[in-house]
Amino acid sequence: MTFSTCDLCDANEDKLASGELSVIPPVFMRFGANARFSGPAVTIKLFEDNGMVRSTLETPGDGQVLVIDGGGSFRCALVGGNLGVLAEKNGWAGIVVNGCIRDVDEINLCNIGVRALAAMPVRSHKKGGGELNVRISIAGVAIFPGDWIYADADGVLVAKPS
């Protein structure tokens, strides 16, 4: 996979202006072995409960990117090392978390890309609450299921499918 978010922005200034291509503000830290990843979005909206994250990552990822709107909470982690391994094993390209992760050393060994606001050692609840494949918003950018996510060292883009 070869792309550059800078090149995508330069080549698609009209789509940036129309909103077909959006840049998530630079709020994320980079984790995981893959600095660059892309794929169609699977979205989850939840708060401090990662049960639905596990059940989703247990399904075949087929190169998709799991985008989790955790409400920006810094009180607990929504993804840890076991879920990173599960995502890699099941073929997910990456995970974007509007919230925290934990087990950073373990996640950094996984052959996936991860973006999150921060690391936090406290684990989340596991009640299974949340909404799957709904419109979410991260840092003012709307993300719909099926939107394409492009992430590299320069940023994270959201592109409407053609």
**154 is annotated as contributing to ligand binding:** no
Tokens of 77: 């982690």
**70 is annotated as contributing to ligand binding:** no
Q: Are 137 and 69 in contact (CB under 8 A)?
A: yes
| C-alpha separations of 119 from 13, 84, 157 in Å | 34, 14, 22
pTM of the model: 0.97
Q: Are 23 and 156 in contact (CB under 8 A)?
A: yes
What is the structure's pLDDT at 127? Answer: 84
Instruction: Give the chain's domains with CATH numbers.
Output: 5-159 (3.50.30.40)
Task: Please give the average per-residue pLDDT across 22-49, as a whole number.
Answer: 97
pLDDT tens string 86-137: 999 999 999 999 999 999 999 999 999 999 999 999 999 888 789 999 999 9
Question: Which alpha helices (H) appear in the chain, and where do they start and end?
Answer: 5-11, 13-18, 51-57, 81-89, 104-108
2: how many CB neighbours lie within 10 A of its CB?
A: 5
Q: Please tell me which residue, 127 or 35, carries the higher pLDDT value.
A: 35
**80 is annotated as contributing to ligand binding:** yes
Q: Answer yes or no: is pLDDT of 56 > 90.
A: yes
Average pLDDT value over all residues in the chain: 97
- Give the phi and the psi of residue 135 in degrees, each rounded to 5: -65, 135
**51 is annotated as contributing to ligand binding:** no
Task: Report DSSP state, residue 14.
Answer: H
**103 is annotated as contributing to ligand binding:** yes
Q: Answer yes or no: is pLDDT of 1 > 80.
A: no
Q: Answer yes or no: is pLDDT of 162 > 70.
A: yes
Share of the chain above pLDDT 70, in %: 99
What is the structure's pLDDT at 119? Answer: 98
